[in-house]
Structure 1
């Protein structure tokens, strides 16, 4: 399959679908967000990470239909000074439907970029090495 260690199950919503019964392309980014929040919570044990997306790219490969089970696999691609880049694989019934990459910049209480905490970097690095 792939070298992703972390996978999140995504709950689909009625309004995710277009009139053809496909998940709308814009919704894929919300699936990334859901998986990213779960990943941060589970990997570094923190629900209070403040980030802003600096970059997002999605490559669509096949449609997600109403009856498909949706999962998103996540892995750390790069750890920067104030950012973390994640790679994703969106799957429909276990088959790759899209790949994606996001870069998140971590923010402090004044909404200024902040360094990635050493403890977080270590946990991200462990996760990155597992997948690599």
Structure 2
């Protein structure tokens, strides 16, 4: 199913097959002593880039690149320092030239933020979108969010 994600539903970390951990940094805090809202975009970027740039996964064909064209963030709970976070990522949709990612940030078992983003595959020279290759689609298979499968 290539259904839209309910951004208000409470996510479960186990539904996201790609995971990594990170530390909340003191520099992530704002004057209210919690993680600044803009920092969450960096957490989500870390998850996407760490997955997509790993050559072992074959998600960036030669001569092509990914650009993010949309990012929606749902702030769910306050996050403070010091802490360790768990990040999860799952694919929730394919477009003709794009992939939609659902992502989460958890701390101490609680979802503190979730996001949905769209990345488009482009030609590095022309900077124009190109259709997803069969190989890229197949290489994303292991990263489908639980409950989502390609149509």
TM range (shorter): 0.7 to 0.9
Deviation at 1:14, TM superposition (A): 3.4
Query: Larger RCO: Structure 1 or Structure 2 (Cα < 8 Å, ≥ 6 residues apart)?
Result: 2
Counting only pairs closer than 5 Å after superposition, residues 47-86 of structure 1 correspond to structure 2 as 50-86=65-101
Tell me how far apart the structure 2 counterparts of residues 63 and 94 of structure 1 sit (CA, whole Å): 13
Q: Which residue of 2 aligns with 1:12?
A: 24
**TM-score, normalization: structure 2?**
0.76
Q: Is the 8 A contact 1:17 1:24 kept in 2?
A: yes
The gaps in structure 2 that reach 5 residues or longer are 1-11
Deviation at 1:131, TM superposition (A): 2.5
1:41-95 per-residue CA deviation (whole Å, 9 max, x = no partner) reads 4572456762222211011110111022112100000011110000011112231
Deviation at 1:115, TM superposition (A): 1.5
Deviation at 1:3, TM superposition (A): 1.2
Tell me how far apart the structure 2 counterparts of residues 102 and 68 of structure 1 sit (CA, whole Å): 25
Aligned length: 131
SS at match of 1:70: strand
Q: Is the 8 A contact 1:78 1:85 kept in 2?
A: yes
Tell me how far apart the structure 2 counterparts of residues 20 and 78 of structure 1 sit (CA, whole Å): 36
Change (3 A) 1:53 1:9: same
Q: Is the 8 A contact 1:37 1:47 kept in 2?
A: no
Q: Which residue of 1 aligns with 2:132?
A: 116
Q: Which residue of 2 aligns with 1:44?
A: 57
**TM-score, normalization: structure 1?**
0.86
CA RMSD of aligned residues (A): 2.1
